[in-house]
Structure 1
Amino acid sequence: MASSQPNMRRFLRDWRQDALNKAQYDAAIFIGDKLLSMTEDDNDAFWLAQVHFAAGNYTRSHDLLSKHNLVGSNPSCRYLAAHCLIRQNNFIEALALLGELTPTHLFSSNAKRKTSRTAARAGRAGSKAPERQPDATGEEESSNRRYEAGMCYLRGLCYAKQNAFDRAKDAYKDALRIDVQCYEAFTQLMRNSLMSPDEEDEFMHMLDFNSVRAPMGGDDPELQSEPADYVHMLYQTQLSKYRNPGAFNAAVESLSTHYGLAHNADMLVARADLLYTQCRFKDALAITAAVLEDDKYNFAAYPVHLACLHELGKTNMLFLVAHELADSHPEEPCTWLAVATYYFATHKIQDARRYFSKASMMDATFGPAWIGFAHTFAADGEHDQAVTAYATAARFFTGTHLPQVFLGMQHHAMNNMTAADEYLQTAYALCHTDPLLLNEMGIVLYHQDRPKDAAKVFRQALRIADDTGADPHAWLGARTNLGHAYRRLKMLDEALDEFDAVLRDGGKDAAVLCAKALILLDKGLPDEAARVLHEALAVNPQDPIATELLNKALEESAVGDVELLMAGLGTGPAGGEGAEQAQEEGGAGDAVNVMERFEAELGERKAAARARAERRVRGKGPVTDPVGSKGKAARAARLDGLARDDLLDGQFDLLQVDGGLPSTN
């Protein structure tokens, strides 16, 4: 009987593992309990606790570990016990169990191993590497290191629940410095935007990807180091898409070509995220739609998918997505993000705010929900509440520049140019390559009477948009703003070229046509200006600025005709004929009387036209900004009483690029 006991132990362990693999947790618990009673082995107790954890019995799992005094025995048991406490939302107790000290000695050990591997590679260059034998001690050490990294990750979760995001970020980074394969820590850093693009790049250089090795048994050093390159490329696809799109494309191309990941959902979502940052919404939507068609419950794809649907105005598709998710997965934050986005797109702001809030309460680290929640206040013109909401998002997601951009936009809307400039500069320190940010910086500079600096920033935004292959229609606002800056700088030909490009790419727009007409007036071409203004009024017959400018253009054109007529009467062929006819009718004195009567009649007509224009303006009252987001009144008065540079100030406020509902990547 005794001799058969080892076989029985092996049989029961295999049975327990087979049941666990099949998710037959009751069977695994039943067999595991019998095995533990038979052996009273700590390893069997640990595995029974693992089965309870997999079955969702977190309290029983933790009590079993404590009963057998396993919590402090080794890293694996302490990790499992802390994980049980976190699943029960006992974050303070879990943090007390994990401790707040990071095993920094593992960092130096990591560096030593890297140095020894470099020396080993140099030795292999001159001789064949000896075949390595399995080392049980080395395997145990590697396992303990991974559990230590896992505990750093759990420590970060506890800090995040306490809103200590800086400490959470440090804990996640420590986990990766101990074990670069701790993907849970990596995804927390990326998904929650805890690092700026520059920080991400610097941190990637710190990680020891050479520690990722192929299983023992191979003699080819290239094959053994191949997993390091593979993991590095996988991580590269998850980084911010603003800093180095070239490196991202290279990584995706290699993974697609050599490892068959061309149609992998994560690769496709990462590519869609890149396209979204480049404002190529149709291309991004095509990719996310393909991903969701294959797996409609891939929740990682929904933030970009919903944002693209909103940008493209596809409210019917938003409704269908939101309705289906609400029926099938009401427990997912993405479901209520979809519902809120639909309401936001249909201008039901109060409903959108309620569901954005619900999504953020379900997952406090869900960045799109926080940004959307703040957008609802901005859409209602409640700037103080919007600033508070955006500031909360900026505190939660310290690595992304978008909350800072939106804070700058809100302060600009409240005419706090100094505060707006500070927030936009903070955003620029986090990200240098976002055309949206550069456009907003240029607008603030323009309103600070720095048109030369504004033009420089607008040109930089358009250059980055061209480099990334962005859709030209997405940056019509920035190009129009550049035209206004050129107009202020009296670079009339350059401004005219920009406005012509906007009209060519984006179709006829009354505000742009008014700006073009204003330049033509400055160039002394009132007839051309009048033609352009008639086009503007055909687009928007009630446009007050187009009406005022048209009156001015007609007045200038009439004055020019009179001057030509006077010149003709005085000299030249026409003048000679007129003089001869006047003499035939009664002499030169009669000709002078004709000119005096003509000038008097022209003066009366001009006065009557000016009076009619004044009555129209007084009848309409003040003309407010059509957007309603700037809190300014667009001045509607006689053109003679206005500086031409101020005439389109209200229209200029229309040209901010809509931030949409971006992901925080």
Structure 2
Amino acid sequence: MREEEIEKLRGVVRDCVTKHLYSSAIFFADKVAAFTNDPADIYMQAQALFLGRHYRRAYHLLNASQIVLRDLRFRYLAAKCLEELKEWDQCILMLDDAKVDEHGNLNDTKDSNIMYLDKDGEDHEINISSAICFLRGKAYEALENRVQARHWYKAAIKADPLCYEALECLIENHMLTYEEEASLLASLQFGPEDGWLSSFYSCLIKKYDKENVVEAKFRELEKEKCNSNTSDPSFFRTLKTNTDLLACKAEYYHQCGEYQKCFELTSVLLEKDPFHLKSTLVHLAAAMELGHSNELYLMACNLVKDYPQKALSWFAVGCYYYCIKKFAESHRYFSKATSLDGTFPPAWIGYGNAYAAKEEGDQAMSAYRTAARLFPGCHLPTLYIGMEYMRTNSFKLAEQFFMQAKTTCPSDPLVYNELGVHEVYDILSLMWTIRLYYRIFCMYNKAVWWFEKTLAQIPSPLSEMWEPTVVNLAHAYRKLKMYNEAISYYEKALALSTRSVSTYAGLAYAYHLQDNFTAAITYYHKALWLQPDDHFCTEMLSLALADEARGPQN
């Protein structure tokens, strides 16, 4: 057959692949390879077999060719076949022979002869060494060797910063701490035209910087950038409406506790792209915090219908049952999510929380410890372990885990809030003896420090969810006899929520202690209007009325 006719057949194969006519591609690729016996045509045939899901046959074809021993693309495709066949040990052996070191470099340059199926010289190709490192990482993760998996994912992204999948695995599976993520990003060698990508990656990693720093990163990406020396508006490009970037922003809102803002943004995103799974996950988390059970029900139904084999779908079902306080059903579905994907962090956290809600501490601790082991870069498992120790009055152990969570995530206001609550509970455990008065005084000061640190981490203005923290701070100031400061924070709490008996009672008591009986009586009445059977307010109101009737004491 003439060369022109063979080239025409190659074009037919490529066209069949682009049109997803894989049986046709396999048929014609087989004939081209038979006519030419050219390594590039054998590779094309193997590629067609792989895309047509004939993994065993593709692997046999590649392995039978001696070129697999010296060509990286042959070896990589053979390893991809083994990946699809779940033969992880064989996959690693195939890649280990590829002579690609931990930095993504070839150890033997004579083996670097690369062939291409459909090469376009204008396109930038992902470094084959990077792809090999990434596949190594996936194989090790499948074998539950997360240390090696993390090592090779880092090697992949360092070998080629365009290998986004490696960075995604490191971030989504919380394999690195914030400092490690920032250090990795700083070590990447971006091309001069990839400045935007460096900025985008900095938005993807953990957002533990100060509020103004994080928001500056988003603004930089949202700027209009000119791609040509012209004033034509068509040459200006921006990522301002990009779904991935907006999903990052929603994630940041959720992290800051701005759940309503987060929910509104993800609602808009899901109207634009209903199947954007990252937006879906953040949307579920925000709906959970806001108690939107109807939204959770609808999301869960749609996800189970569209993605029955994804952990996210059954996690959504678990979220719905958790929201309506059916905890037995919720932990069953969270468990199903973990069985489908053992590396899905939210499912493990939800699994532990469902047991904790039923006060089944041993099972909750087991889930949290598993999560802490699997996701060393995530502070939530250690935070929840601390909460469980608090529930069982193990205050010293609780403090250790809260401090560990603070080290991992130095900007989560919830961590500081729990440290403040821990100090208050620790005080209550010491109240049995007057000799501990000085220590108690010091601990209230420490509680005030933690609560103020909590509020300092929260973007302004405060949302209603932080009202308990503000009230706790007011209570601590009142205990320290700093009544003006206490009254100020009680009033701030009332600006966030006017339905809290504790706030009105605390404010009334603070005024009472200042001998401002008129103000005290007013707020005792407001507390009793919300909860008429409150024993403390009823008793203190009687005392305040009697004190007011007696008049000022000389």
TM-score (norm 1): 0.73
Distance 1:385 1:500 in 2: 41
Alignment-derived partner of residue 49 in structure 1: 46
Candidates 158, 161, 183, aligned match of 2:164: 183
Q: How does 1:285-304 map to 2 (within 5 A)?
A: 285-304=263-282
Q: How does 1:579-658 map to 2 (within 5 A)?
A: none
1:37 and 1:282, CA in 2 relative to 1: closer, same or farther beyond 3 A? same
Alignment-derived partner of residue 83 in structure 2: 86
Distance 1:51 1:30 in 2: 9
Residue deviations 1:90-128 (CA, integer Å, cap 9, x gap): 22222232239861465699xxxxxxxxxxxxxxxxxxx
Alignment-derived partner of residue 493 in structure 1: 484
Aligned partners of 2:269 and 2:279 also within 8 Å:
yes
Q: How does 1:132-171 map to 2 (within 5 A)?
A: 146-171=127-152
Candidates 451, 467, 485, aligned match of 1:458: 451
Alignment-derived partner of residue 258 in structure 2: 280
Alignment-derived partner of residue 501 in structure 2: 510
Moved more, 97-106 or 13-22: 97-106
Aligned partners of 2:315 and 2:334 also within 8 Å:
yes
Alignment-derived partner of residue 232 in structure 1: 198
Code of the aligned partner of 1:84: C
Distance 1:74 1:438 in 2: 55
Code of the aligned partner of 1:376: A
Indicate the SS of the match to 2:269. Answer: helix
Aligned partners of 2:103 and 2:159 also within 8 Å:
no
Q: 1:494, CA displacement in angstroms?
A: 0.4
Distance 2:7 2:400 in 1: 67
Correspondence 1:439 to 2:417: yes
Alignment-derived partner of residue 128 in structure 1: none
Alignment-derived partner of residue 175 in structure 2: 194
Residue deviations 1:118-148 (CA, integer Å, cap 9, x gap): xxxxxxxxxxxxxxxxxxxxx9xx97x8222
Candidates 61, 65, 85, aligned match of 2:62: 65
Aligned partners of 1:278 and 1:470 also within 8 Å:
no
Correspondence 1:313 to 2:291: yes
Code of the aligned partner of 1:366: F
Alignment-derived partner of residue 231 in structure 2: none
Code of the aligned partner of 1:189: L
Moved more, 340-349 or 448-457: 448-457
Moved more, 154-163 or 517-526: 517-526
Q: 1:557, CA displacement in angstroms?
A: 4.7
Code of the aligned partner of 1:229: G
Code of the aligned partner of 1:96: L
Alignment-derived partner of residue 336 in structure 2: 358
Distance 2:409 2:163 in 1: 27
Alignment-derived partner of residue 440 in structure 2: none
Q: 1:336, CA displacement in angstroms?
A: 1.4
Code of the aligned partner of 1:16: V
1:73 and 1:451, CA in 2 relative to 1: closer, same or farther beyond 3 A? same
Indicate the SS of the match to 1:400. Answer: coil
Distance 1:81 1:301 in 2: 35
Distance 1:39 1:251 in 2: 54
Aligned partners of 2:527 and 2:537 also within 8 Å:
yes
Alignment-derived partner of residue 604 in structure 1: none
Greater Rg over alpha carbons, structure: 1
Distance 1:534 1:463 in 2: 33
Distance 2:472 2:214 in 1: 31
Alignment-derived partner of residue 592 in structure 1: none
Q: 1:555, CA displacement in angstroms?
A: 5.3
Aligned partners of 2:509 and 2:520 also within 8 Å:
yes
Alignment-derived partner of residue 103 in structure 1: 101
Aligned partners of 1:309 and 1:317 also within 8 Å:
yes
Q: 1:10, CA displacement in angstroms?
A: 1.2
Distance 1:260 1:520 in 2: 55
Alignment-derived partner of residue 253 in structure 1: 219
Code of the aligned partner of 2:444: P
Code of the aligned partner of 1:23: H
Code of the aligned partner of 2:454: A
Q: 1:32, CA displacement in angstroms?
A: 0.5
Q: 1:231, CA displacement in angstroms?
A: 1.8
Residue deviations 1:494-525 (CA, integer Å, cap 9, x gap): 01111111112211311112222222332234
Candidates 265, 278, 294, aligned match of 2:243: 265
1:154 and 1:108, CA in 2 relative to 1: closer, same or farther beyond 3 A? closer
Share of identical aligned residues, percent? 31
Q: 1:89, CA displacement in angstroms?
A: 1.7
Aligned partners of 2:475 and 2:486 also within 8 Å:
yes
Indicate the SS of the match to 1:208. Answer: coil
- How many residues of Structure 1 are paired with residues of Structure 2 in the alignment? 511
Distance 1:255 1:505 in 2: 33
Indicate the SS of the match to 2:457. Answer: helix
Tell me how large the CA RMSD over aligned residues is.
2.3
Q: How does 1:361-376 map to 2 (within 5 A)?
A: 361-376=339-354
| Greater relative contact order (CA < 8 Å, ≥ 6 in sequence) | 1
Q: 1:472, CA displacement in angstroms?
A: 2.9
Candidates 347, 362, 379, aligned match of 2:325: 347
Indicate the SS of the match to 2:378. Answer: coil
Q: How does 1:383-398 map to 2 (within 5 A)?
A: 383-398=361-376
Q: 1:245, CA displacement in angstroms?
A: 4.9
Alignment-derived partner of residue 111 in structure 2: none
Alignment-derived partner of residue 207 in structure 2: 241
Candidates 373, 394, 397, aligned match of 1:419: 397
Correspondence 1:402 to 2:400: no
Candidates 10, 16, 19, aligned match of 2:16: 19
Aligned partners of 2:462 and 2:496 also within 8 Å:
no
Alignment-derived partner of residue 36 in structure 1: 33
Q: 1:30, CA displacement in angstroms?
A: 0.4
TM-score (norm 2): 0.87
1:424 and 1:296, CA in 2 relative to 1: closer, same or farther beyond 3 A? same
Question: Which structure 2 residue ranges, 5 or more long, are not aligned?
Answer: 108-120, 226-236, 428-442
Aligned partners of 2:156 and 2:166 also within 8 Å:
yes
Indicate the SS of the match to 2:410. Answer: coil
Aligned partners of 2:334 and 2:351 also within 8 Å:
yes
Aligned partners of 1:273 and 1:304 also within 8 Å:
yes
Code of the aligned partner of 1:5: R
Distance 1:6 1:162 in 2: 47
Q: 1:417, CA displacement in angstroms?
A: 0.9
Residue deviations 1:376-432 (CA, integer Å, cap 9, x gap): 011111122211111111111111111111111111111111111111111111111
Indicate the SS of the match to 1:263. Answer: coil
Distance 1:54 1:424 in 2: 49
Indicate the SS of the match to 1:448. Answer: helix
